[in-house]
Every structure is written in C-alpha cells, then in structure tokens.
C-alpha cells in the first residue's frame, strides 16, 4: 500500500540499522518521506546521525539539528532497544539500568522532545515498538526487557492523552516472534518450538511489523490514538 501523504514529511526512526529499523526506513523512504535515522551503529545512509539515544544531550542536539534543517518533525518511530536474555536471578543492577536507559528512558526523552515540536505545529504521530513480552512477561527474553516493553504501552497512552487536543497521535505495535537478528540466535530446535506455538504456523517477517507502523503514521489511522497493535500470528489473542 502506498501512502502519498508521507511525501516530504519528516520522519525520525531510532534503532535504524537493525532488521526492523531498516524495514521501517525503507518503507517510509519508498513513500517519499524525508527519513532521519539514528543508531549507535554507524551507516552511510542519507540523513543518518549516529549517537546514543539514552544520552539526553544527544537527543536535544538531534531534534535541534532536524528542526534547523527541515523546520518540522511529523513522525517519530521509537524502535531502538536491546534485548539481553539474562536469567532473572542473574540480572545485575548495572545491566538492569542499561536496558531501562536504552529501551525506556530514551523513548520518554525523545517522545518528550518531539511532542513539544508536534504540539507547536498542531500535528504529528509517535509510534513506539512494544512487544508481546511486555504483555505476557519475559519467557525467552530478560525480565528487564519485558518490563520496558510493558512500560512503553503505558507511556503510549500518556503521550496520546497529552497530544490529542493538538492532533498529535501516539500508538504502539507489539511484535511477537519475528524472524530477525534476535531469533537468529536461536537453535533450529528452538525455532521449531517457537513455530509450533504460533497459530499461523510461522515466524513473523520484519515487513509485517513495518507495515502496521506506516499505517498508524498515515492519515488512514487519523482517529486511532493510545492503541497497541498486536503483531504475533495469533500467539496472544
């Protein structure tokens, strides 16, 4: 599906070099958006700005640079995150704090900064990546990861309430088991077991995450805010 309304819209995607981040950037780019991308891992893509989004000073500089170059920010996609699989009793405080900083604090700080821009321009859309793990608890992932993803769903509702009067919408997507770098770490036996639990009988594709994000950012979703779209093949109904 094409979204002509994205032409010349400014989109900021975090975690841009990962599998899902790359699919998101390509999707917006195909629809003629101006896609700013950031990640701690560097790439030579256009409008790519490397940095640590858990660093408040980097976020301030990032938003300031985009505003200086374009004058507006229309869509923010909070996609960045890390997913250690450390067992619950083995999680150290420094690891706990690192996961919360990258996954949740960065989402809060960047959403806050972009929301101020969007409130002033009386339009905008923020979409954040939650997870099935945030709804059912960490099974194959760490407790710190699942806790951040649950918090992202709640934070999305707060953003939606704060932005609604200015036509700024906030939504989330909650992917289940997606065929990506994270599942590449699983053994063939583990992947087979994952597949057996999914009613649709397969892992999700990254484009099946990117598609709903583009929809939520589009005019087709202009009456949707504070909502989380589950993308899990029926694993949780």
Place of tokens 């321009």: 121
Q: Which region, left, alpha or beta, applies to residue 32 given φ > 0 means left and ψ of -120 to 50 means alpha?
A: left
| pLDDT one-digit tens code per residue, 169-190 | 999 999 999 988 666 666 777 7
* CATH no. of 4-176+206-231: 3.40.50.720
Task: Single out the catalytic residue among 138, 145, 148, 175.
Answer: 145
E-assigned strands of 112-224? Answer: 124-129, 168-175
CA distance 90 to 93: 10
Q: Which two tokens stand for residue 117?
A: 């821009």
Going by the DSSP 8-state scheme, the letter that residue 203 receives in this structure is P
223 catalytic, yes or no? no
Tell me the mean pLDDT in the region 79-98.
95
| pLDDT one-digit tens code per residue, 38-81 | 999 989 999 999 999 999 999 999 999 999 999 999 999 999 99
């Amino acid at each position: 599906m094409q979204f002509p309304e994205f032409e010349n819209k400014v989109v900021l995607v975090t975690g841009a070099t990962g599998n899902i981040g790359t699919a998101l950037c390509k999707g917006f780019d195909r629809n003629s958006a101006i896609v700013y991308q950031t990640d701690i891992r560097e790439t030579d893509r256009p409008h790519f700005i490397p940095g640590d989004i858990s660093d408040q000073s980097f976020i301030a500089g990032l938003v300031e640079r985009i505003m200086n170059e374009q004058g507006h920010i229309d869509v923010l996609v909070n996609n960045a995150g890390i997913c250690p699989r450390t067992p619950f009793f083995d999680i150290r405080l420094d690891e706990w704090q690192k996961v919360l900083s990258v996954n949740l604090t960065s989402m809060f700080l960047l959403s806050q900064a972009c929301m101020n821009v969007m409130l002033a321009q009386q339009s905008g859309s923020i979409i954040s990546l939650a997870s099935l793990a945030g709804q059912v608890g960490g099974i194959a992932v760490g407790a710190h990861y699942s806790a951040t993803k649950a918090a992202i769903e709640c934070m999305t509702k707060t953003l939606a309430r704060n932005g609604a009067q200015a036509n700024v919408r906030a939504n989330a997507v909650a992917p289940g088991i997606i065929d990506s770098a994270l599942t590449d770490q699983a053994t063939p036996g583990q992947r087979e077991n994952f597949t057996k639990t999914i009613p649709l009988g397969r892992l999700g594709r990254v484009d099946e995450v990117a598609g709903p994000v583009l929809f939520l950012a589009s005019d087709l979703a202009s009456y949707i805010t504070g909502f989380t779209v589950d993308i899990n093949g029926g694993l949780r109904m």
